[in-house]
């Protein structure tokens, strides 16, 4: 794994005016400035809304169950377990995304909150890359992503910080923390940056909270600048 490889995922369904897209672009621009031409050669970008990852199907599940019964396998061995064209196709869709994630030194995830959780596009990517055993070493069982740095940019139109009336409705950040922990990302390498109340200017019920929204956005920008200077 190289420290100068950035995999950048956006998942907002809004092509313009998206706070999550603006924030991930800010991080990526700063990261590029730090790493120069070599960094740009190792930059990968996926727009999970404009170019969605196909949802997993029954054949993916069948191949996954067959693989899981055999333990942790090399990727080539998984491909050889595929039975029939449907399973082979599902693996063909999955393997490049898995390899792309495994090769990333830093993963940047733009995650707007939709209906209290992550977008359908991001969830489809998560389902596709989370094939049994693929993020652990077949020989040692050690997590392959233990040194991967993950920057999650979690954007929410309302307020979900502890103490807020809807704090208990946040199934976005806790889910992403649990997910990256499950696939072996070390806790110290998972960085979650939140921007809250991003709809304060255009939702009348939130208008009075615009100063808090501005503070939250400024804090998110500063946190991302700091991370981009070190990762």
Q: 75-100: per-residue pLDDT in tens?
A: 999 999 999 999 999 999 999 999 99
- The confidence score (pLDDT) of residue 192 equals 98
Q: Classify burial at 36, counting beta carbons within 10 Å of its beta carbon; exposed 0-12, middle 13-18, buried 19 or more.
A: exposed
Query: What is the overall mean pLDDT for the chain?
Result: 95
Neighbours of 93 (CB within 10 A): 15
How far apart (Å, rounded) are the C-alpha atoms in residues 83 and 106?
34
How far apart (Å, rounded) are the C-alpha atoms in residues 64 and 48?
23
Residues 7, 101 contacting (CB under 8 angstroms): yes
Using pLDDT thresholds of 50, 70 and 90, give the confidence band for residue 172. very high
Higher pLDDT, 2 or 40: 40
In this predicted model, what pLDDT tens digit does every residue of 12-68 receive, in sequence order?
999 889 999 999 999 999 999 988 766 567 899 999 999 999 999 999 999 999 999
* Residue whose C-alpha is closest to residue 89's, from 45, 47, 128, 130: 128
Neighbours of 62 (CB within 10 A): 17
How far apart (Å, rounded) are the C-alpha atoms in residues 27 and 108?
8
Helix segments in the chain, DSSP class H? 19-41, 58-68, 75-81, 84-103, 120-129, 173-182, 210-228
Span 202-215, mean pLDDT? 95
């Amino acid at each position: 794994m190289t420290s100068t490889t950035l995999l950048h995922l956006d998942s907002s369904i809004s092509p313009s005016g998206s706070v999550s897209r603006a924030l991930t672009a800010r991080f990526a621009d700063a990261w590029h400035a730090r790493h120069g031409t070599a960094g740009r050669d190792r930059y990968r970008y996926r727009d999970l809304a404009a170019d969605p990852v196909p949802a997993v199907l029954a054949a993916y599940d069948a191949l996954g169950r067959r693989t899981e019964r055999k333990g942790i396998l090399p990727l080539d061995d998984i491909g050889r377990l595929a039975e029939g064209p449907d399973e082979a196709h599902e693996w063909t869709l999955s393997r490049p995304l898995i390899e792309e994630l495994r090769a990333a030194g830093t993963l940047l995830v733009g995650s707007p909150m939709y209906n209290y959780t992550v977008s359908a596009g991001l969830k489809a990517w998560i389902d596709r890359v989370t094939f049994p055993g693929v993020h652990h070493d077949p020989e040692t069982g050690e997590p392959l992503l233990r040194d991967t740095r993950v920057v999650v940019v979690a954007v929410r139109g309302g307020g979900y910080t502890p103490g807020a009336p809807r704090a208990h409705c946040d199934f976005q950040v806790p889910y992403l923390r649990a997910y990256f922990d499950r696939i072996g990302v070390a806790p110290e390498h998972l960085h979650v940056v939140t921007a809250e109340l991003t709809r304060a200017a255009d939702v009348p019920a939130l208008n009075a909270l615009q100063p808090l929204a501005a503070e939250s956005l400024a804090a998110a920008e500063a946190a991302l600048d700091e991370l981009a200077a070190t990762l």
